[in-house]
Amino acid sequence: MTSADTDVATRLVDEARTRLERCATLDELRSAEAELVGKRSALATAHRALGGLPPDERRRQGQLLHQARSTVEALVAERRQTVARAERQRWLEADRLDLTEVLPGPRRGHLHLVQRTRDELEDVFVGMGFVVAEGPEVETDWYNFEALNIPPAHPARGMWDTFYLQIGEPETVLLRTHTSPVQIRVLQEKRPPVYAVMPGRCYRRDTPDARHIPVFHQIEGLVVDHGITFAHLAGTIETFTTAYFGPDIHSRLRPAYFPFTEPSAELEITCTICHGAGCRTCSQTGWIELGGCGMVDPAVLGAVGLDDEEWTGFAFGFGIDRCAQMRHEIPDMRILLDNDVRFLRQV
Ligand code: PHE
């Protein structure tokens, strides 16, 4: 073996190593591979030249070239692994999405104050062991009035100015004036014990003013179980009041009348503006009316086929918009419907 022959093989391998190191992509590697070990490569040319050599010499040089080719092929395979890994890494980097990125431009949306208030009220009651139920906004006279112990032409109907729909017989289908019909739907679906709150939109033919809007929201509460008393009602209301409005805000119940509860009460809370001292918002009384409540009237239990000797319960219903108004000190409730972006934008 002459050193010149070894030199040729070593040089071919060295050149191949340098050439391969310059390859950064799989495409580049493919053409380098063709140049280094393909038909027109220096290795192939050297191989072809073996034919003109004497047999001994041919075998010797043939072995050297063969070894060189194996080494180069191994180098190509090794380089292919490195390049493929790097290429995949670059691809992943380029494809990465930064989900925490805050883009300049339009602000992100958020829930309307009324929806947020509804969610928070639900949370308070769910925390007290209530389930959440819903009913339709379009109701029949039976659910909205009759089953709630308000027969046709009963004077108490005047408590709710009703929007009727022109469907079926006149004045049989309406937009619900309160969430109380959902009490009936819940009791039809599930036997007691029942502990449920029922939030939703209601409609009344009211002229809008600072404290009334014709489309508003209520959350109804209903408990029916063995041995439920007025004390349970008062305790539930007080627990809710301090949980939602804070420890310095309290509730009080004042005698009132609703056809579907007996006895009935108006539910009031400490005025959040003056904390009970008296101000213009609460007409100097220190209290704000949130809604109504009372013990479920036996006639209501009868309407859904429950034995009023066995079961007793309480119900309440109050304004979600009113809660938002009290908690956030909103002077005029009409702003909730105005879609004034300066109001909506406030989180
Ligand atoms: N539904 C009554 C109203 O909207 C409020 C109420 C609910 C009163 C439940 C008593 C019991 O005026």
* pLDDT tens per residue, range 183-218: 999 999 999 999 999 999 999 998 998 888 999 999
- Is residue 243 within 8 A of residue 127, CB to CB? The reply is yes
Identify which of 143, 178, 321 to mutate to test ligand 1's pocket (most ligand atoms within 8 A of the CB): 178
pLDDT of 109: 82
* pLDDT tens per residue, range 291-338: 999 999 999 999 999 999 999 999 999 999 999 999 998 888 999 999
Backbone dihedral region of 294: left (phi > 0), alpha (psi from -120 to 50 degrees) or beta? left
Domain annotation covers residue 217: yes
Is beta strand 194-203 parallel, antiparallel or unpaired with respect to 131-132? parallel
Q: From ligand 1's centre to the CA of 276, what distance in Å?
A: 24
CA separation for the pair 60, 66 (Å, rounded): 10
Whether residue 292 has its Cβ less than 6 Å from ligand 1: yes
Whether residue 261 has its Cβ less than 6 Å from ligand 1: yes
Q: From ligand 1's centre to the CA of 172, what distance in Å?
A: 21
Q: Where is the domain boundary, 95, 129, 156?
A: 95
Whether residue 180 has its Cβ less than 6 Å from ligand 1: yes
Domain annotation covers residue 100: no
Residues 212 and 271 in one domain: yes
Domain annotation covers residue 104: no
Q: Where is the domain boundary, 69, 95, 121?
A: 95
Residues 259 and 174 in one domain: yes
DSSP collapsed to 3 states, 46-93: HHHHHHHCCHHHHHHHHHHHHHHHHHHHHHHHHHHHHHHHHHHHHHHH
pTM for this structure? Answer: 0.70
Residues 329 and 296 in one domain: yes
Residues 151 and 68 in one domain: no
CA separation for the pair 178, 137 (Å, rounded): 9
Identify which of 224, 236, 260, 267 to mutate to test ligand 1's pocket (most ligand atoms within 8 A of the CB): 260
Domains contained in the chain, number: 2
Q: From ligand 1's centre to the CA of 292, what distance in Å?
A: 5
pLDDT of 4: 67
Highest mean pLDDT among 69-83, 248-262, 267-281: 248-262
CA separation for the pair 157, 164 (Å, rounded): 13
Domain annotation covers residue 105: no
Whether residue 221 has its Cβ less than 6 Å from ligand 1: no
CA separation for the pair 237, 251 (Å, rounded): 7
* pLDDT tens per residue, range 21-75: 999 998 899 999 999 988 888 888 888 888 888 988 888 888 988 999 999 999 9
- Is residue 327 within 8 A of residue 308, CB to CB? The reply is no
Q: Can you give the residue range of the structural domain that contains 286?
A: 113-346
* CATH code, 207: 3.30.930.10
Task: Tell me the average pLDDT of the chain.
Answer: 92
Nearest ligand 1 atom to the CA of 218 is 4
Q: Which residues pair with 312 in a beta bridge?
A: 225
Q: Where is the domain boundary, 95, 128, 148?
A: 95
Whether residue 315 has its Cβ less than 6 Å from ligand 1: yes
Residue 8 corresponds to which tokens in the numbers above?
């040729």
pLDDT of 158: 84
Provide the percentage of residues in the chain whose pLDDT is more than 70.
98
Residue ID of nearest Cα to ligand 1 atom 12 = 292
DSSP collapsed to 3 states, the chain: CCHHHHHHHHHHHHHHHHHHHCCCCHHHHHHHHHHHHCCCCHHHHHHHHHHHCCHHHHHHHHHHHHHHHHHHHHHHHHHHHHHHHHHHHHHHHHHCCCCCCCCCCCCCCCCCHHHHHHHHHHHHHHHCCCEECCCCCEEEHHHHCHHHCCCCCCHHHHHCCCCECCCCCCCCEEECCCCCHHHHHHHHHCCCCEEEEEEEEEECCCCCECCECCEEEEEEEEEEECCCCHHHHHHHHHHHHHHHHCCCCCEEEEEEEECCEEEEEEEEEECCCCCCCCCCCCCCCCEEEEEEEEEECHHHHHHCCCCCCCCEEEEEEEEHHHHHHHHHCCCCCCHHHHCCHHHHCCC
Domain annotation covers residue 103: no
pLDDT band of 347, cuts 50, 70, 90: low
Identify which of 160, 180, 220 to mutate to test ligand 1's pocket (most ligand atoms within 8 A of the CB): 180
Residue 201 corresponds to which tokens in the numbers above?
């939109």
Whether residue 178 has its Cβ less than 6 Å from ligand 1: yes
Domain annotation covers residue 274: yes
Domain annotation covers residue 71: yes
Residue 324 corresponds to which tokens in the numbers above?
């938002």
Domain annotation covers residue 256: yes
Residues 75 and 146 in one domain: no
